[in-house]
């Protein structure tokens, strides 16, 4: 199973980090071993003081008639060690230490097929930190929609059943602290409620 992520897919988020609007999708990956258990918690790594939450629509890839399709949908977190990422970006180095570390990815329970969403309907989602909405967005705000992303990714990487595609985060990313609580809502439904802990805390 591969976890493929798209960066800078919402204009307002690209701007908040001072990045240009991309001309083609920005693609990176995380290993399956980076996955946080379904019930959490999020454990902040000891090597960063600035781990950011990025809530994203996540699609599970299926295949229909030999074609990769977005078969299921849910919410995920692309946790990012922003301090490490800024340092790597400044030196033109790869992002993996900032994006693919152990405990850097969360995927909520997958929802049934996209067929249940009417065509043209935007999938709305939001993230609350300690009860306050910090990020909200919908699928219609993506610079590249899911089918465009799949077609682009497939030029480089074969997509297989069960692969996960993170589609980028809307504006409002921010730092996590031990004791924070993150709730993710998809179409108004609570999909996850996760505690945030320091690396040293036990249990």
Instruction: Give the number of residues in contact with Zn ion, rule: CB under 5 A.
Output: 3
Q: Which of 169, 172, 184, 191 binds Zn ion (CB under 5 A)?
A: 169
Taking the C-alpha atoms of residue 138 and residue 154, their distance in angstroms, rounded to an integer, is: 24
Taking the complex as a whole, the smallest distance from the CB of residue 76 to Zn ion amounts, in Å, to: 9
Minimum CB distance to Zn ion smaller for 54 or for 163:
54
- Kindly tell me which of 54 and 60 has the beta carbon lying closer to Zn ion: 54
User: Which member of 54, 60, 163, 197 binds Zn ion (CB under 5 A)?
Assistant: 54
Q: Which residue's beta carbon is nearest to the bound Zn ion?
A: 78
- Residue whose CB is less far from Zn ion, 10 or 185: 10
Contact range with Zn ion by CB under 5 A, out of 34-42, 72-80, 83-91, 110-118: 72-80
Interaction between residue 74 and Zn ion (CB under 5 A) = no
The residues in 123-142 that bind Zn ion, with binding defined as CB under 5 A, are none
Q: Given the complex with Zn ion, which of 168 and 202 has the nearer CB atom? A: 168
CB of residue 150 to Zn ion, shortest distance in Å: 17
DSSP readout, the chain? --EEEEES-BHHHHHHTTPPPPSS-EEEEE-GGGBPPTT--EE--TT-S-EEE-EEEEEEEEEETTEEEEEEEEEEEE-EEHHHHHHHHHHT--SHHHHSSTT-EEE-PPBS-GGGSPTT---EEEEEETTEEEEEEEGGGBSS-HHHHHHHHHTTS---TT-EEE----S--EE--TT-EEEEEETTEEEEEEEEE-TT---
Residues that bind Zn ion (CB under 5 A): 54, 78, 169
């Amino acid at each position: 199973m591969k976890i493929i992520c798209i960066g800078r897919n919402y204009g307002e988020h690209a701007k908040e980090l001072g990045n240009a609007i991309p001309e083609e999708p920005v693609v990176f990956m995380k290993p399956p071993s980076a996955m946080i258990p379904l019930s959490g918690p999020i454990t902040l790594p000891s090597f960063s003081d600035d781990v950011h939450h990025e809530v994203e629509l996540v699609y599970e890839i299926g295949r229909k008639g030999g074609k990769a399709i977005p078969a299921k949908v849910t919410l995920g977190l692309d946790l990012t060690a922003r301090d490490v990422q800024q340092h790597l970006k400044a030196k033109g180095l790869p992002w993996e230490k900032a994006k693919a570390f152990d405990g850097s990815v969360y995927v909520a329970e997958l929802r049934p097929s996209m067929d249940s969403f009417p065509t043209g309907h935007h999938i709305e989602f939001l993230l609350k930190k300690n009860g306050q909405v910090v990020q909200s967005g919908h699928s219609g705000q993506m610079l590249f929609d899911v089918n465009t992303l799949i077609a682009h990714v497939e030029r480089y990487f074969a997509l297989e059943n069960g692969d996960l595609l993170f589609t980028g985060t809307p504006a409002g990313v921010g730092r996590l602290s031990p004791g924070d609580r993150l709730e993710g809502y998809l179409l108004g439904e609570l999909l996850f409620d996760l505690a945030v802990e320091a690396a040293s805390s036990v249990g």
